[in-house]
Amino acid sequence: MAELTIIIPTYNHADRLRHTLEHLALQEGIDETEVIVVNDGSIDETAKYVDHLTYKWLTVVHQENKGRSQARNNGLKRAKSNYVLFLDSDILLCPGYLKELLAAQNKNPGIYFGDLFNIHFDKTERCVSLLRVQKTKDRAKEQLKKLEKVDLLVNMARYFKIWHPEQKVGWPCLTAANFSAPLSILKKAGPFDENFTGWGVEDHEYAFRLNETGAEIYYLDTIYGCHLDKAKEKINIPLLVENLLYFHKKSKYNPEVRAYLEFVSGHDSLQSLFRRSMNMPLTDCSEEIYFRPYKHIRAKQVTANGR
């Protein structure tokens, strides 16, 4: 039985999924790992691409388009390893990622995630080429920093670690892009909530429930993934707001969730979210950091004429 199962949900990401799997094939220990790709009813070339792959460590599951939560749950049902790594289909892992992750899990089981470089969609090929030629994670890291576009929603752990210089961080720092946990903890938290639809929120709600199990959340900034960002033609803002409000109600209006909502809506600072989610004081003399949701959404979108 494999020690680690990697679950990759995907929808219409054939080009990025190809990069993700090709880089996984270069990971030390991949032959002792199970990788489950759940194709969530893609209508591009995804099905044709994955069905022709011959990686012995790869299992492909096809389903109707039911969303990322259902796709992750479908993969989770098939996992039998000690540990699970959720990985998005547009993430490239640095050399040595799996080896270092498993070493951390075996030493002190918990919830772990690495750093994430958000690579703007016009720099994808440069990122892919860079990771191919560099054999060690440290040699590539400094160059990747020059390509990234920092995203507060996925990079807030960097700030939390400055303010609290330990591996432990708060649940708002965790996304489903590249996090690992023992299968036993995931079963205790339950499945991803399939009531979330559209883009966003379902992974932060899951992070909140993982935290409620009492498990520790650790930020491993010595390893990292590269997120190959993709321009979205349209983001349904009213639906996104509905998801946020549903999360708040489901949490029974938990004050930490309230703090998260105030941060992602741009009404309160990252420093305040740290204080309220970590339940500790913060003396920070720097300027308050705010997330700008509409600016963030505009940066993610592209119109039909590419502007």
Average pLDDT rounded to a whole number, residues 188-199: 91
Is residue 62 scored above 90 in pLDDT?
Answer: yes
Q: Model-level pTM?
A: 0.94
Ranked by mean pLDDT, the top range of 136-150, 180-194, 291-305 is 180-194
List the structure tokens of 194: 């399939």
Average pLDDT rounded to a whole number, residues 182-205: 93
298 in a structural domain: no
274 in a structural domain: no
Query: pLDDT (tens digit, 9 = 90+) per residue, 274-285?
Result: 999 999 999 877
For 184, other C-beta atoms within 10 Å of its C-beta total 12
Residue 306 region by backbone torsions, left for phi larger than 0, else alpha for psi between -120 and 50, else beta: left
CATH number at 63 reads 3.90.550.10
Residue 104's pLDDT band (boundaries 50, 70, 90)? very high
304 in a structural domain: no
206 in a structural domain: yes
Instruction: Please say whether the beta carbons of 20 and 7 come within 8 A.
Output: no
Q: How far apart are CA 286 and CA 270, in angstroms?
A: 12
286 in a structural domain: no
278 in a structural domain: no
Is residue 130 scored above 60 in pLDDT?
Answer: yes
285 in a structural domain: no
Domain count, the chain: 1
Domain that holds residue 46: 4-237
Q: How far apart are CA 7 and CA 86, in angstroms?
A: 5
Q: What is the mean pLDDT of the chain?
A: 91
Query: pLDDT (tens digit, 9 = 90+) per residue, 198-228?
Result: 777 999 999 999 999 999 999 999 999 999 9
148 in a structural domain: yes
pLDDT at 305: 34
Q: How far apart are CA 104 and CA 222, in angstroms?
A: 11
Residue 132 region by backbone torsions, left for phi larger than 0, else alpha for psi between -120 and 50, else beta: alpha
pLDDT at 304: 35
